[in-house]
């Protein structure tokens, strides 16, 4: 080996090219593929969020916290938090609770795809179409009440729309498929031989579920709850169409809408949106903190 070559080898060893040093830290050409996504997130999420945050501190009158002071001073505004939670939390819990037994059954079925398609339909239809359908079928003059009265089971129509239950049902119908698909994916991730092992060890169906399936599923259900809850918390169309938007279903997004498009107070609307985000964040953080206490490892019985 010539002296020059030896020298250049030595120099290379001291200073590998920049591209190699960057690649060692996980930065190479492929990393550039995230650029469009980053731009997208910056433009559609980070910028509006920061702009809204700034705007919420620029009230029409008063000091920089005047919007927030106004929100928490006016029961017509601050009560929307409780009302929204009172709809979103039970509806989400209901969806998560019902999705578990359904998914337990469905994972054993052979025609899963057909069923999944049927379940996804409500998502693709959208809230407004579902609301319209519910108004037709469940309204005082709707098919259900007419049939029940015809059969003599009830004397006067059951009120299922334009109140709390209308919104609740709508959140169940549109939210359940999403919750179910998430739960199904978590349940199919549990190795079936674990339940078989539990059975051979003498555990009956109830014990197999409570001792083996549920502990392995719990952390997944926490995630499912968070994602479903965030969707339900933003409920707007069905609260207006199917609920009592001046009364028990005056949810927080209605308050934000009114501030923005009826009072033209964008600053107050931004403040309400920030409060909304904060409430969601508190709930999600609380659930995820609880999840940290659960078993979160692999759900397979095999050597990991």
Q: Which residues bind other proteins (CB under 8 A)?
A: 191, 193-194, 196-204, 207, 211-212, 215-216, 295, 297-304
Half-sphere exposure of 8 (CA within 13 A, CB side): 5
User: How many Cβ atoms are within 10 Å of 197's Cβ, its own excluded?
Assistant: 14
| 234 in Cβ contact with 167 (< 8 Å) | no
**Least distance from other proteins to the Cβ atom of residue 162, Å:** 46
**Least distance from other proteins to the Cβ atom of residue 225, Å:** 19
How far apart CA 60 and CA 271 sit, in angstroms, is 12
How far apart CA 139 and CA 145 sit, in angstroms, is 7
Of 161 and 216, nearer to other proteins (C-beta) is 216
Of 111 and 141, nearer to other proteins (C-beta) is 111
**Least distance from other proteins to the Cβ atom of residue 96, Å:** 20
Of 112 and 193, nearer to other proteins (C-beta) is 193
Cα 281 to Cα 79, 221, 223, 226, 284: the distances in Å are: 18, 17, 13, 10, 5
How far apart CA 106 and CA 100 sit, in angstroms, is 10
**Least distance from other proteins to the Cβ atom of residue 10, Å:** 43
Cα 74 to Cα 67, 78, 290: the distances in Å are: 11, 6, 33
Of 189 and 237, nearer to other proteins (C-beta) is 189
**Least distance from other proteins to the Cβ atom of residue 181, Å:** 24
Of 153 and 302, nearer to other proteins (C-beta) is 302
């Amino acid at each position: 080996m010539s002296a020059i070559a030896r020298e250049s080898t030595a120099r290379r060893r001291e200073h590998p090219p920049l591209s190699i040093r960057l690649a060692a830290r996980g930065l190479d050409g492929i990393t550039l593929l995230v650029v469009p996504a980053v731009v997208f997130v910056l433009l559609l999420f980070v910028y509006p969020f920061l702009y809204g945050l700034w705007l919420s501190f620029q009230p029409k009158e008063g000091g920089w916290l005047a919007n927030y002071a106004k929100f928490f001073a006016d029961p017509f505004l601050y009560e929307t938090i409780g009302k929204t939670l009172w709809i979103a939390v039970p509806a989400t819990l209901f969806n998560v609770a019902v999705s578990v037994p359904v998914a337990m059954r469905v994972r054993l079925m052979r025609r899963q795809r057909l069923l999944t398609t049927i379940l996804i339909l409500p998502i693709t239809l959208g809230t407004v179409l579902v609301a319209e359908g519910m108004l037709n079928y469940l309204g005082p003059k709707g098919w259900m009440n007419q049939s029940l009265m015809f059969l003599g089971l009830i004397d006067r129509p059951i009120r299922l729309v334009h109140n709390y239950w209308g919104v609740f049902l709508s959140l169940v119908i549109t939210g359940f498929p999403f919750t179910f698909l998430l739960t199904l994916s978590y349940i199919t991730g549990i190795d079936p031989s674990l339940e078989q092992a539990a059975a051979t060890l003498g555990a009956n169906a109830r014990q197999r579920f409570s001792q083996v399936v549920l502990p392995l599923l719990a952390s997944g259900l926490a995630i499912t709850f968070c994602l479903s809850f965030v969707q339900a918390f933003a409920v707007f169309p069905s609260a207006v169409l199917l609920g009592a938007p001046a009364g028990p279903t005056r949810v927080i997004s209605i308050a934000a809408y009114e501030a923005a498009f009826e009072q033209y107070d964008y600053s107050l609307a931004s403040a309400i949106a920030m409060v909304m985000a904060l409430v969601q964040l508190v709930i999600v953080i609380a659930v995820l903190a609880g999840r940290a206490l659960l078993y979160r490892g692999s759900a397979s019985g095999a050597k990991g």
